Structure 1
Amino acid sequence: MLIRFKSPVAADVLMLGDNAQQLLRLVGREGQLKGIFEVDDQPHIIELLDAAVAAEAQAAEAAADAGGKAPARPLVSLRQRVWPLREMLHQAHRERVAVVWGV
């Protein structure tokens, strides 16, 4: 399944369903096949995504500092996966428009 995030001020962001659901879970919208990020909610959503990226980086750093074997790095990191949606949210917030998915 593919999920397409849309905004009138940015190119569509298309994600595989599992990856999109991971990001939606990070912002408290897990399991929603359709939805909207309202303008007033966008800064908080960006903060949640940034916090998740920072937490992933800290966990990898902590594992390396502990001298243990670092967990296998995914082919696409969370930072890379979040970036297109994060940029769309920034642009949408600047232009005061919503971001929708699944419609």
Structure 2
Amino acid sequence: MTSVSSTALSGLRAAQLQLDSSAHNVANLNTPGFKRQTVELQEEPEQGGVRASLGRAQNEGSALETDAVDQMAATYSFAANLQVFKAQDRMMGALLDQKA
């Protein structure tokens, strides 16, 4: 069984990788021959959470609309996983209050 914090941490790492990748793609928007970075997410059933890895698009060129959506989704994912950390902290505090 995994801890809630390790599951949330994997989500934070995946969101950060997505933000970094989409920022890299936007920065290289006009670079000739550039192939976009992609982020593949894979479930970690035994450890919990998600594993994120970088890949490359098959075709050259930009997809600014995709990168903008990816940035927004990563921002929401980052915020949601941060809320999981906060909820765990509150639950642990309540548990300690009950035991003390």
Do both share a fold (TM > 0.5)? no
Q: 1 or 2, which has the higher helix percentage?
A: 2
Greater radius of gyration (CA): 2
TM-score scaled by structure 2?
0.34
TM-score scaled by structure 1?
0.33
